[in-house]
Chain A
Amino acid sequence: MKILEKICSPLGWLSLGLLGYGIWHVLNTPADFQQGNSVAILFVHVSAAKMALFFYLVLVAASIRYLWKKGDTADTIAEASVHVGAAFSVVTLATGSIWGKPMWGTWWAWDARLTSMLMLLIIYVGLIALRGALEDRQRGAKAAAIFALIGAVDLPLIHFSVVWWRTLHQPASLGNGAPKLVGPMLTTLAVMGVAFTVLGTYMLVLKTLEVREQRRLHDKEEEHFHNG
């Protein structure tokens, strides 16, 4: 855990730098034939989506670890990853919606990917609510871990059923989600992808440290309450 404190700040600066570099790339990428310069939104949207999903994997790993070994560290990381994942889900949905407006004419479309991402966000929010509702930290940790794992099995099922459902109702008219990116756009996407990965890692480290301090504070307050 001490390592985290040391790398937090440097990671923050590194993300900032990489994001700046990424944005420079975005500004220098020629506009797409079909989408005009709205393709610029996709660089953020796709990167955020990857992060939103990635942090669920982190959550799963932490949850399994917690249920197996019961460490406080695992639980802290699990809690942190939910918040980071939720933040990226919100960005994915918002940027997806904004990209969709000029493309599809609507602020929202119930296409497979956006719907699945919305479900992911709701599951993240549910996890936050679950922890909040359970006052006993051990109970909260266990419940959250179990729910996270149930969600992990469920998310592929949800995505699969939503895709199936939408292919029945929406022929290609809506466009099948994001179109393919080629050429210089791929480089920009890659750069943004790396930048977001570093940013996400930074956010995870930061949030983990914050959760840890909050827990310590809470424990101290309990202690004083009982001794005072």
Chain B
Amino acid sequence: MGDYSSFVIGAYAVAITVLGGAVFLWKIRLARAKKMLAKMENFGESSQ
């Protein structure tokens, strides 16, 4: 039986980074897009 702990930790770290990173990235992009849209709505209204 072998101890491959460093590999196990590495693998989980990669998985967390990729999946967590994707979630994080998409959340930020979603929030940013919503904010920009809100700004544009206000801009549109005020120029009317």
Contact = CB atoms under 8 A, between A and B. Distances in A.
Chain A partners chain B: yes
A209 B30 contact: yes
Given A38-B7, A213-B30, A220-B40, A102 B15 contact: no
B11 to A, nearest CB: 4
A87 B18 contact: yes
Interface string B13-48: 011001100110011011001101100100010000
Given A98-B11, A102-B2, A209-B30, A83 B22 contact: yes
Contacts of B23: 12, 202-203, 206
Contacts, number: 93
A207 B1 CA distance: 42
Interface of B: 1-5, 7-8, 10-12, 14-15, 18-19, 22-23, 26-27, 29-30, 33-34, 36-37, 40, 44
Grouping DSSP codes into helix (H, G, I), strand (E, B) and loop, the B interface class, with mixed when no group exceeds half, is helix
Interface stretch (A28-36, A63-71, A136-144, A152-160): A28-36
Nearest to B1: A36
Nearest to A86: B22
A90 interface: yes
Interface residues of A, number: 40
A40 B8 contact: yes
A199 B19 contact: yes
| Closest 9 A/B residue pairs (Cβ) | A36-B2, A213-B33, A38-B4, A210-B30, A41-B11, A98-B11, A94-B14, A95-B11, A87-B22
A127 interface: no
